């Protein structure tokens, strides 16, 4: 929440600060700067994250790869042993991104929620592709608008960024449709990252999320909210207009601040509780924070396991 | 509903300000697209409605606040129902001030007196009072009297107090509303209840409301209600204002000249028959008096033998008591003048009082007679002073402390003092006289020698005079009056620095004060800066000398003040010359009752007896040992100030009550804004309901509610 946002020292602004990133054109440039910071952080971290790990030895049998023979074990035991690895195939991840009109909101001079989520997705994609894992993208609003199936080639990053940069947010929200696309396109268990502000029906999507978890996916919800939405800092008489509807309200902000903050807090808690109940990881994304910090926090805490479950 | 300051009502337009501000803010409101508007609109519509209602309430409260402020400042009040019965059932203290002056003896169309109506109205008020209402009854006739023991809840005691009016009704009193209201305020200040009300029940005649100084600026009174028992209607009245009797003709067959004054207080001129009754003789004549003016009629007739007095009357009207005037043939209303000689001489024409003695003894037709008594400054005793109406200190340069104190008390109680100059005055005169002198004396100045042939060239003359002053009125319009030709060679130079109540009446050439006047308590003092003999001026041999000194004495004796002409009045004390002979004194009143009187050594020395406040109209008799032949007769009449029944105007009434209630700090506008205050007829009342204090209280509540709503949001 607002109070947890680390403040930059006075007169010193991080290059990955949302306001600084907002001045960079294109999600690729933004992501590259964020990735640099994330990589520096990972170097110091004790958690190496996803990598192919040794599981057990087995006695050599004809047909086994000669290159997997453990020659050190042969020297000790005078028998041929072959190394067995836990995961032999690449990790597969899906990013499900809300492209409804409400994601187009951004406080003055900062990234919109959609741009912010796009930067995080590009950062994650770069990290995953770098270790030959596959990543795909599902964009949805009132319906699914674009699907990029998971690929592990490095030039797949270009497809992702092009898709993110050419998207215009509009329409309502139908997360269920987005998650259905994941079910349809995923051939094996993997990671699912959901980026949304959840300004829609808070019940329906979770049935689908539970279904994905049941299929063995490791699902993480990134609940993207703008700083304005979390603090409601407005002062003077304002005519508020909805972004997904034509509803309007002329009000003295100070008269409704307390009630609004109470309700937005309840909404956030509801989403978090539903996630926990559905065995879905939850991460609040406050767009005033640096995206790299959030990615790092995720990787250090709720990072994906090799099993993908 | 009426308003004290109706113009301020325009300020209610200020109530539009919050609405205008709201509309401007609405126009200036910034449009902001906001994703989380659903949380702002509050999907719970009940909450949304509550918020909107709250906004409307805040706006409405602000509008009301400003409008109520303007409304309260306009001082709204509700007019009373003039025919409604007074509500005295609330807890509180009520002072019933009932006018029982002579004018209340006026007969109403139903044949009952106005006082009867006033008492009936008072009884109604007492009857409608609740058990927690206390009453006090105060009579407004002079002297003002509290007839109950302060405020009382005992209605029987209040009834007994009201019954006493009937017993006292025969005595014609003047009105003293000022003292009565003062007493009402004092009594009400003892009331434990917050509601303190005064009802003034009477004819509300204008003369009763002419206060010299307004009373009770300290009184915490909630309201003053005036009840006019005659309904504000004017009543015509004709009154005999005085009689002057002059004897003329040969001593063997004296002829009486009786001059009668009649005043018409009606709205149109009237001709009335005047009857003179003298012994068994009755003569009549007619007099025509224009509206609001006085006329005189003179009778000439042979004086009947052994007749001591008589009466004059006109046809009885609504107020019968002032339709007749009783008088005596002898000197009955003379002013006792004690003349103190400060420079006695054995050669008569050189004596200080040689000219004054003659001037005071001369009697002029139609004037109040002076009864001079003489003493030297060494012989002057307090007893002599108190037996006098006026004291003249002729060239008395120094007073003993005892004399000074006696004179001070004498003047303070209403006596008159005339001081005249002379060579006895030295440096210690100021200290000796104290505040008896209107202005302090600085020095003695001489401009010429009296026996110098060229003295007339350098002598001073009286150059200016205040002709409005009663003493100088006789010289008004007489261009060659000898007063202005008299030569003054020496004079007392006085310091006319500001002294409250003192003024210059006449001045010599160059503005040097000649005659000055001062006030001490109820009495007057005068200083003539030159002498009464020929030492310092030749004024004494001028023809103006006689009217000057006589009118000065009459003025100091207050004989010129009485609107009803010369004579003794009911309720006023007087000095009566002692009858000849020896034996106990008896006073015989007009109704025939005999009252034994004691004679003190002071009375004997002064030669007079002081009669305190006679209470009956008619001829009195003071005799010794039952000897009526040598008895002294005097007549007492009612004060004609009460004869003017003109009702007070609503404006004057408002001004008086506003003045009375302004300083008490409780309700500054109590009963003031009502334009038809005197229109309340008998049986009605005119109490206004003041609304603005309640509105102000509501305003505070509105302000609190507005603040609470805003803070709560």
Candidates B40, B45, B56: best to mutate against A (most CBs of A within 10 A) is: B40
CB contact under 8 A, A238 and B39: no
Round the average pLDDT of chain B to a whole number and report it: 81
pLDDT-derived band of residue B674, with 50, 70 and 90 as boundaries?
Answer: very low
Chain A environment of B50 (Cβ under 8 Å): none
CA nearest to A253 within chain B = B40
CA angle B350/B353/B357 to nearest 5° reads 125
Give the angle B650-B654-B656 at the CA atoms, nearest 5°: 120
The residue count of chain A comes to: 309
A110 and A131 in contact (C-beta within 8 Å)?
no
3 state SS for B672-696: CCCCCHHHCCCCCCCCCEECHHHHH
CB contact under 8 A, B35 and A103: yes
Of the partner residues A229, A249, A250, the one whose CB lies closest to the CB of residue B35: A229
Name the CATH topology of B92-234+645-687: Rossmann fold (3.40.50)
Token couple for B146: 């509290």
How close A238 comes to chain B (CA, Å)?
5
The span from the CA of B220 to the CA of A245, in Å, is 69
- Residues of chain A with C-beta less than 8 angstroms from the C-beta of B47: 259
Q: How far apart are the C-alpha atoms of B616 and B614, rounded to whole Å?
A: 6
Q: Which residues contact B209 (CB under 8 A, 6 or more apart)?
A: B177, B648, B652, B653, B656
Work out the percent of chain B whose per-residue pLDDT is above 70: 86
Same fold, B92-234+645-687 and B335-556: yes
Name the nearest CA neighbour of A208 among A96, A121, A102. A96
Is A252 or A234 the better-scoring residue by pLDDT?
A234
How far apart, in Å, are the Cα atoms of B376 and each of B426, B524, B550? Answer: 18, 22, 20
Q: How many residues does chain B have?
A: 713
Cα–Cα distance for residue pair B446/B428, rounded to 1 Å: 19
More confident residue, B188 or B567: B188
User: CA of B6: how far to CAs of A88, A304, B75, B532, B688, in Å?
Assistant: 98, 82, 8, 65, 16
Mean pLDDT of A230-239: 86
Mutate one of B34, B47, B55 to test the A interface: name it (highest A CB count within 10 A): B34
Are the Cβ atoms of A242 and B28 closer than 8 angstroms? no
More confident residue, B213 or B602: B602
Q: How far, in whole angstroms, is CA B561 from its chain's centroid?
A: 12
Residue of B nearest to A103 (CA): B35
Q: Give the single-character DSSP code of B303.
A: P
Identify whether the C-beta of residue A168 lies closer than 8 Å to the C-beta of residue A240: no
pLDDT at B138 over 50: yes
Query: Tens of pLDDT along B307-364?
Result: 778 899 998 888 888 899 988 875 445 688 999 998 888 888 888 888 998 888 776 5
Cα distance between residue B481 and residue B473, in whole Å: 12
Q: How far away is chain B from the Cα of A248, in angstroms, using its nearest Cα?
A: 8
Every domain of chain B and the residues it spans: 2-78+696-712, 92-234+645-687, 238-331, 335-556, 568-633
Residue B516 pLDDT greater than 90, yes or no: yes
The predicted structure's pLDDT at residue B579: 85
Choose from B26, B37, B43, B47 for mutation: most chain A CBs within 10 A. B37
B29, A256: Cβ pair inside 8 Å? Answer: no
DSSP string, B643-664: G--PBPPHHHHHHHHHHHHHTT
Whether residue A240 and residue B51 make contact (CB cut-off 8 A), yes or no, is: no
Label residue A254 by pLDDT band (50, 70, 90).
Answer: confident
Chain B: give the shortest CA distance to residue A288, in Å: 16
Looking at the partner chain, which of B29, B47, B55 has a beta carbon nearest the beta carbon of A239?
A: B29
pLDDT of residue B120: 92
How large is the ipTM? Answer: 0.72
The whole-angstrom separation of Cα A289 and Cα A222 is 13
Q: What pLDDT is recorded for position A8?
A: 41
Contacts of A199 in chain B (CB under 8 A): 35-36, 38
Cβ distance of B54 and A263 shorter than 8 Å: no
How many inter-chain contacts (A to B, CB under 8 Å) are there?
A: 86
Q: Which residues of B touch A267 (CB under 8 A)?
A: 39
- Which residue of A104, A244, A255 is in closest CB contact with B55? A255
pLDDT digits (tens, 9 = 90+) for B453-508: 788 788 899 988 888 888 887 887 777 788 888 999 999 999 888 777 889 999 99
The sheet with strand B238-248 has its strands ordered as B238-248, B255-264, B294-302
- Chain B window 3-42: which residues touch A at a Cβ cutoff of 8 Å? 25-26, 28-42
More confident residue, B306 or B644: B644
State which residue of chain A sits closest to B36, comparing Cα positions. Answer: A229
Residue B562's pLDDT is what? 47
User: Over 90: is that where the pLDDT of A223 sits?
Assistant: yes
State the pLDDT at residue A154: 82
Q: What is the mean pLDDT of residues A299-303?
A: 67
Instruction: Specify the CATH superfamily of domain A90-301.
Output: von Willebrand factor, type A domain (3.40.50.410)
Quote the pTM value: 0.43
Contact B39 A243 (CB under 8 A): no
CB contact under 8 A, B29 and A102: no
Q: How far is B25 from chain A (nearest CA, A)?
A: 6
Chain A residues within 8 A (CB-CB) of chain B? 101-105, 113, 197, 199, 226, 228-229, 234, 236-245, 247, 249-252, 254-256, 259-260, 263-264, 267
Distance from CA of A237 to the nearest CA of B (A): 5
For the stretch B86-114, pLDDT in tens is: 445 566 889 999 999 888 888 888 888 99
A218-225 and A191-196 as β-strands: parallel, antiparallel, unpaired? Answer: parallel
- CB A241 to CB B34 under 8 A? yes
Q: pLDDT band for position A10 (50/70/90)? A: very low
Whether the CB-CB separation of B283 and B276 falls below 8 Å is answered with: yes
Query: Of A237, A248, A254, A268, which to mutate for an interface test with B (greatest number of B Cβ within 10 Å)?
Result: A237
CA-nearest residue to A258 within chain B is B713
Of the ranges A33-47, A272-286, B395-409, which one carries the lowest mean pLDDT score? A33-47
Domain range B335-556, CATH class: alpha beta
Can you give the pLDDT at residue B506?
Answer: 93
Residue-level pLDDT at B675:
32
Residue B313: enclosing H or E segment and its boundaries?
strand B309-314
Q: Give the right CATH number for B238-331 from 3.40.50.1370, 3.40.640.10, 3.40.50.920, 2.60.40.10.
A: 2.60.40.10
Q: Is B53 on the interface with A (CB under 8 A)?
A: no
Whether residues B42 and A255 touch (CB distance < 8 A) is answered with: no
- Rounded to an integer, the average pLDDT of B576-603 is 87
pLDDT, one tens digit per residue, over A182-191 is: 888 887 788 8
Beta-bridge partners for B488: B460, B537
The enclosing H or E element of A43 equals: helix A27-44
Nearest to A237 among B28, B33, B51 (CB): B28
pLDDT digits (tens, 9 = 90+) for B23-32: 887 777 788 8
Q: Which residue of A has its CA nearest to B50?
A: A256
A172 or A97: whose pLDDT is higher? A97
The rounded percent of chain B whose pLDDT value lies above 90 is 18
Helix or strand (DSSP H, E) at B570: none
Going from the C-alpha of A258 to that of each of A231, A254, A270, B81, the distances in angstroms are: 10, 8, 18, 55
- Mean pLDDT, rounded, of chain A: 78
* Residue B275: alpha-carbon gap to chain centroid: 32
The minimum CA-CA distance between A20 and chain B, rounded to whole Å, is: 23
Instruction: Tell me how far apart the alpha carbons of residues B65 and B268 are, in angstroms, rounded to a whole number.
Output: 57
- Tokens matching residue B93: 């203290």
Q: What is the pLDDT of residue B313?
A: 92
Look at residues B634, B607, B609, B604 and name the one whose alpha carbon lies nearest to residue B619.
B634
């Amino acid at each position: 929440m607002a109070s947890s946002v680390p403040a930059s020292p006075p007169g010193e602004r991080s290059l990955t600060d949302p306001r600084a990133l907002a001045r960079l054109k294109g999600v690729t440039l933004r992501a590259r700067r964020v990735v640099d910071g994330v990589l520096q952080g990972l170097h110091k971290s004790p958690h190496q994250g996803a990598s192919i790990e040794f599981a057990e030895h087995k006695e050599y049998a004809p047909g086994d790869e000669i290159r997997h023979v453990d020659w050190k074990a042969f020297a000790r035991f005078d028998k041929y042993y072959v190394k067995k690895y836990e995961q032999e195939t690449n990790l597969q991840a899906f990013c499900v991104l809300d492209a409804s009109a409400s994601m187009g909101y951004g406080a003055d001079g900062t990234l919109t929620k959609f741009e912010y989520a796009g930067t995080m997705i590009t950062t994650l994609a770069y990290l995953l592709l770098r270790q030959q894992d596959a990543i795909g993208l599902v964009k949805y609003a009132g319906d699914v608008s674009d699907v990029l199936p998971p690929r592990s080639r490095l030039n797949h990053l270009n497809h992702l960024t092009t898709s993110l940069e050419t998207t215009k947010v509009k329409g309502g929200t139908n997360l269920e449709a987005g998650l259905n696309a994941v079910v349809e396109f995923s051939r094996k268990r993997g990671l699912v990252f959901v980026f949304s502000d959840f300004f829609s029906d808070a019940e329906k999507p979770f049935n689908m999320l539970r279904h994905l978890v049941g299929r063995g996916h490791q699902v993480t919800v990134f609940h993207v909210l703008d700083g304005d939405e979390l603090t409601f800092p407005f002062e003077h008489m304002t005519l508020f207009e909805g972004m997904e509807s034509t509803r309007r309200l002329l009000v003295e902000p100070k008269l409704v601040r307390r009630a609004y903050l109470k309700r937005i807090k309840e909404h956030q808690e509801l989403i978090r509780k539903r996630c926990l109940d559905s065995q879905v990881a939850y991460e609040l994304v406050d767009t005033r924070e640096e995206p790299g910090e959030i990615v790092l926090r995720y990787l250090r805490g709720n990072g994906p396991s090799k099993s993908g479950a | 509903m009426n308003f004290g300051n109706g113009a301020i009502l325009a300020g209610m337009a200020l109530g539009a300000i919050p609405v205008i501000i709201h509309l401007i803010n609405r126009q200036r409101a910034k449009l902001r697209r906001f994703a989380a508007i659903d949380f702002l609109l509050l999907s719970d519509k009940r909450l949304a409605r509550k918020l909107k209602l709250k906004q409307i309430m805040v706006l409405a409260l602000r509008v009301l606040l400003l409008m109520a402020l303007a409304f309260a400042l306009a001082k709204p009040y509700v007019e009373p129902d003039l025919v409604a019965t007074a509500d005295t059932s609330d807890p509180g203290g009520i002072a019933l001030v009932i006018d029982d002056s002579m004018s209340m003896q006026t007969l109403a169309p139903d044949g009952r007196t106005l006082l009867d109506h006033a008492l009936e109205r008072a009884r109604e008020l007492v009857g409608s009072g609740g058990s927690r209402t206390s009453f006090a009854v105060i009579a407004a006739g002079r002297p003002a009297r509290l007839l109950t023991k302060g405020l009382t809840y005992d209605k029987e005691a209040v009834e007994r107090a009201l019954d006493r009016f009937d017993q006292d009704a025969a005595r014609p009193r003047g009105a003293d509303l000022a003292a009565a209201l003062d007493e009402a305020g004092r009594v009400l200040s003892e009331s434990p209840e917050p509601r303190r009300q005064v009802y003034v029940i009477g004819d509300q005649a204008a003369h009763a409301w002419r206060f010299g100084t307004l009373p009770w600026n300290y009184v915490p009174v909630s309201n003053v209600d005036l009840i006019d028992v005659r309904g504000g209607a004017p009543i015509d009245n004709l009154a005999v204002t005085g009689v002057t009797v002059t004897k003329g003709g040969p001593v063997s067959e004296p002829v009486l000249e009786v001059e009668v004054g009649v005043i018409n207080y009606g709205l149109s001129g009237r001709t009335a028959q005047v009857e003179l009754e003298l012994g068994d003789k009755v003569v009549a004549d007619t007099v025509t008096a224009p509206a609001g003016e006085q006329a005189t009629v003179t009778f000439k007739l042979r004086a009947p033998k052994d007749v001591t007095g008589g009466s004059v009357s006109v046809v009885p009207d609504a107020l019968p008591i002032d339709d007749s005037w009783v008088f005596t043939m002898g000197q009955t209303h003379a002013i006792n003048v004690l003349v103190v000689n400060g420079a006695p001489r054995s050669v008569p024409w050189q004596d200080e009082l040689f000219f004054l003695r003659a001037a005071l003894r001369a009697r002029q037709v139609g004037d109040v007679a002076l009864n001079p008594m003489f003493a030297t400054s060494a012989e002057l005793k307090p007893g002599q002073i108190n037996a006098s109406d006026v004291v003249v200190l002729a060239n008395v340069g120094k007073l003993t402390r005892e004399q000074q104190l006696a004179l001070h008390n004498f003047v303070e109680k209403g006596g008159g003092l005339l001081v005249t100059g002379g060579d006895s005055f030295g440096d210690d005169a100021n200290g000796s006289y104290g505040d008896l002198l209107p202005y302090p004396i600085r020095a003695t100045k001489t401009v010429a020698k009296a026996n110098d042939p060229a003295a007339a060239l350098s002598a001073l003359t009286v150059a200016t005079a205040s002709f409005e002053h009663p003493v100088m009125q006789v010289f008004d319009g007489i261009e060659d009056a000898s007063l202005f030709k008299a030569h003054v060679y020496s004079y007392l130079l006085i310091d006319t620095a500001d002294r409250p109540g003192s003024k210059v009446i006449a001045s010599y050439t160059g503005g040097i004060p000649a005659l000055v006047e001062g006030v001490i308590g109820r009495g007057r003092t005068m200083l003539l800066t030159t002498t009464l003999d020929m030492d310092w001026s030749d004024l004494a041999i001028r023809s103006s000398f006689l009217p000057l000194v006589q009118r000065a004495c009459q003025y100091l004796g207050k004989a010129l003040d009485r609107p009803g002409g010369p004579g003794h009045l009911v309720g006023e004390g007087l000095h009566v010359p002692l009858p000849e002979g020896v034996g106990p004194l008896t006073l015989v009143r007009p109704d025939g009752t005999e009252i034994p009187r004691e004679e003190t050594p002071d009375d004997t020395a002064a030669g007079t007896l002081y009669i305190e406040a006679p209470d009956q109209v008619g001829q009195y008799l003071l005799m010794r040992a039952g000897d009526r032949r040598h008895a002294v007769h005097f007549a007492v009449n009612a004060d004609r100030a009460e004869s003017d029944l003109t009702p007070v105007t609503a404006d004057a009434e408002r001004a008086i009550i506003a003045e009375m209630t302004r300083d008490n700090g409780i309700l500054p506008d109590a009963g003031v804004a009502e334009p038809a205050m005197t229109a309340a007829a008998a049986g009605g009342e005119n109490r206004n309901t003041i609304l603005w204090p309640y509105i102000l209280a509501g305003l505070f509540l509105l302000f609190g509610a507005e603040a609470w709503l805003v803070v709560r949001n």
